[in-house]
Each structure stands twice: as structure tokens, then as C-alpha cells.
């Protein structure tokens, strides 16, 4: 069951707030504690009536023997904020 979060409105949106909300969403997922993640803001895209914010969540399992992971998994999020609606 996915938790329903209250998304920020366009007027209150910031890149940092977008990262916090993505963290809030993925913190509800059942993922083994060995998997570490980082959230990275990639870019802001200007569209005709909105702005789209691109983020990447990168997952990996570093170990003491191999601190640089041999494999990673990425999930991409796009948050679109309308310039017409609040």
C-alpha cells in the first residue's frame, strides 16, 4: 500500500522541497536496509505552460570489501509544476 503524501503546490515548490517529497515517497517502500540511496537534482526544463524538474534516485549496496559498488539501480522522477494553476 502506497502512502498518499500531500504534494507541494506550485507557489511553494523548490528544488529542495521536491527532493524532500521524493524521499518521503520512497521511504514508504520496502527496501532492505543494505541498499543505500542518494537523490540528485538533474535539471529544470522550461515548457510552454509549466516547468519540469528532473531527479534521479541512485541505489547501491557498498560493502567494506567493495566500497565502490559494482552495480547500481536508478529511478527517475519528474515533477511538473504548472505556471497556469496554483
Consecutive H or E run containing 21: helix 15-26
Q: How confident is the model at residue 1 (pLDDT cuts 50, 70, 90)?
A: low
Residues β-bridged to residue 46? 51
The four Cα atoms 78, 41, 73, 63 give a dihedral, to 10 degrees, of: -150
pLDDT given for residue 11 in this prediction: 83
Task: Show me where the domains of the chain are located.
Answer: 15-82
pLDDT given for residue 67 in this prediction: 86
Q: How confident is the model at residue 84 (pLDDT cuts 50, 70, 90)?
A: confident
pLDDT digits (tens, 9 = 90+) for 16-67: 999 999 999 998 888 888 899 999 999 999 999 999 999 999 999 988 888 8
**What's this model's pTM, rounded to 2 decimal places?**
0.85
At 34, give phi and psi (nearest 5°): -65, -30
Amino acid at each position: 500500500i502506497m502512502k498518499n503524501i500531500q504534494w507541494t503546490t506550485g507557489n511553494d515548490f523548490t528544488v529542495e522541497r521536491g527532493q524532500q517529497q521524493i524521499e518521503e515517497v520512497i521511504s514508504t517502500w520496502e527496501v532492505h536496509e543494505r541498499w543505500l540511496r542518494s537523490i540528485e537534482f538533474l535539471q529544470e526544463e522550461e515548457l510552454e505552460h509549466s516547468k519540469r524538474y528532473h531527479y534521479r534516485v541512485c541505489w547501491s549496496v557498498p560493502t567494506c570489501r567493495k566500497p565502490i559498488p559494482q552495480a547500481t539501480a536508478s529511478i527517475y522522477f519528474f515533477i511538473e509544476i504548472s505556471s497556469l494553476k496554483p
